[in-house]
Amino acid sequence: MKGNRVNHPKKYPVGRKRWLEPERKAYMKEYYQKNKDKLRKKHVERMRERYHIDPEFRMKRLENRKRWGERNKEHITEYRRMNVLYTNGGRIRVKKRKFQGFCELCSKTIEKKPFWHHWDDEHPEKGLWLCGKCHWLAESVEYDPNQELLNKYKHLKEGM
């Protein structure tokens, strides 16, 4: 398009911004709307390519990402709380139910950190929002380390 403008000064005189004309603008808007997904994908691809070959661009992107992270700390914490689960096997993505602000077992208001308790690794989205105490209780019901601890406690006590 740029070439046309330069090569045909009569048709598109200097200073006449064709893409600002209402008709042209409307057409471009429509074109964008129609091809949104395709255009967006192309844009992402181009940016990704540039990220790999242009070190300056990469630095800028990384800096921006870092700054975004610093500005959106709370947002990130909240996102992780709702969508990520830390298990023995590592990090998995999971869509948790909305946290209502209280423990779903003892109904106590949770001000600090709620625990997402799940019992089925195949379905980690099945779970309960629990306070620290109830989470401990739930875990001990699932895995019953209590008996073991109880025995050890008795053993230690008797050994004194």
| Interacting residues with Zn ion (CB under 5 A) | 103, 105-106, 108, 131, 134
CB of 81 to Zn ion, least distance (A): 17
Please list, in sequence order, all residues whose beta carbon lies within 8 angstroms of the beta carbon of residue 121, skipping any fewer than 6 positions away. Answer: 87, 89
CB of 100 to Zn ion, least distance (A): 13
Pick the closer one to Zn ion by CB: 85 or 110: 110
Pick the closer one to Zn ion by CB: 12 or 119: 119
* Residue of 82, 127, 126, 130 lying closest to 103 (CA atoms): 130
CB of 150 to Zn ion, least distance (A): 22
Look-up: residue for tokens 């909240």?
78
d(CA 31, CA 10): 27
Pick the closer one to Zn ion by CB: 85 or 114: 114
For 138, other C-beta atoms within 10 Å of its C-beta total 18
CB of 110 to Zn ion, least distance (A): 8
* Residue of 93, 96, 90, 102 lying closest to 127 (CA atoms): 96
